[in-house]
Copies of this chain bind each other. A is one copy, B any other.
Amino acid sequence: MEMSGYLIATRKEVAEFAGVSEATVSRVLNGVGPMKEETRSKVLHAAEKLGYVPSALARSFARNRSGNLGVILPYIPKARLFSSYYFSEMLSGIGSAVREQGYDLLLLFRSEQEPQEYESFFLAQKVDALIILGSRDEPGEREAIRKLKDAKHPFLVVNQHFKGESFPEVDVDHEEGSRQAVTHLIEQGCKHIGFLNGPLTYSNSADRLSGYQKALAEGDLHLDSSYLFEGNFSRRSGYEAAEKMMELLPKMDGLFVSNDRMAIGVLQKFREWQIPEEKYPKIVAYDDSDAAEITVPPLSSVSVPFYEMGTIAANKLLQIGNDAELFRKWFDDPVRELLQAELIVRASSRGNTDENN
């Protein structure tokens, strides 16, 4: 049986040769349970005779590979990481590519308080290649990624870029995605457009801010910093940001929110205040998750190809395999994929919010 790139399972042959059951072979080779010494030595003899290597780990060690693609994920205690659309789509895409290529997927949770030591996963041969997700632009993070690059380990940074570095990366043009979103609001007649963004240590937040600024400038609108809000991508943070919007509300006729979850939190607050729907600012959110379609009103949202990012990143890494020549080329001319986002218009940003779709 072929599994994750190496061969397993002549266990049956060992069992036949030793005249014992397969379960006995397993117990002996794993040292589990009590076992007569005679049986034990019969099995070990058969295993040696047939050249059976009980552990693929041993073979991996000899061949210097694990059969695992690693993914670095931020760890926040009790947070529902996988329920965020961003991570769930990305991991589905990565998982699909990994499976098709016969690898397994090792999830490596990193706490933001800890020093980043990504290289150790390679030194420990826990992974053959590494995807870094949910990265922030911080000195420790840059340093850790630079180390990976210096040591020429195969890795990719996904949905994040670092100005001034040339790390291999797969990203989305979030500046352009945001520019489209805000331009659409301007075309719908909005003059005072609020912006609920995520933390600026994420390059995609910084890019979205640029896109917002660009669109305002192109529409001859002024940037008023009292219209800028920040959340942490959670629904709760959207709900809380909405409270700060209250006094601006009659004037704020448009709102751009950098993910659907926060927008849903904003809508929740509006509903609590019993603002009639036709008085809502026109809203465009971001991500175009499943939830965007089922809110009331359905959310206009910028669709981001997270799943495709995941498959592209995993496929690029796994193509390299362990080829030293390819490694060098990889770093001489690092991968810099830039995918496109696309605005999907629904009732939340249209003139008539009675409309249902």
Q: A4-B126, A6-B124, A82-B95 are in contact. List 8 more A-B contacts (CB 8 A).
A: A9-B117, A9-B120, A32-B152, A32-B324, A58-B125, A104-B108, A105-B106, A291-B291
Task: Assess the B57–A126 pair: CB atoms within 8 A.
Answer: yes
Q: Contact string, A136-155, partner B, CB cutoff 8 A, digits 1/0?
A: 00000000000100111100
The answer to whether A8 has its CB under 8 Å from any CB of chain B is yes
Task: Assess the B92–A79 pair: CB atoms within 8 A.
Answer: yes
Q: Contact string, A65-101, partner B, CB cutoff 8 A, digits 1/0?
A: 0111000010101111111010111011001101110
Residue tally, chain A, CB below 8 Å to B: 81
**Which A residues lie at the B interface, using CB under 8 A?**
1, 3-4, 6, 8-9, 11, 22-23, 26-27, 29-33, 54-58, 60-61, 64, 66-68, 73, 75, 77-83, 85, 87-89, 91-92, 95-96, 98-100, 104-109, 111, 115, 117, 119-120, 122-126, 147, 150-153, 235, 264, 271, 290-291, 294-296, 307, 324, 327-328, 356
Q: How far is the CB of A4 from chain B (nearest CB, A)?
A: 7
The 3 closest A-B pairs by CB, nearest first: A56-B124, A82-B88, A57-B125
Task: Assess the B91–A82 pair: CB atoms within 8 A.
Answer: yes
Q: Which residues of B contact A78 (CB under 8 A)?
A: 96
- With contacts A8-B120, A104-B106 taken as known, whether A23 is within 8 angstroms of B81 at the C-beta atoms is no
Closest to A56 in B: B124
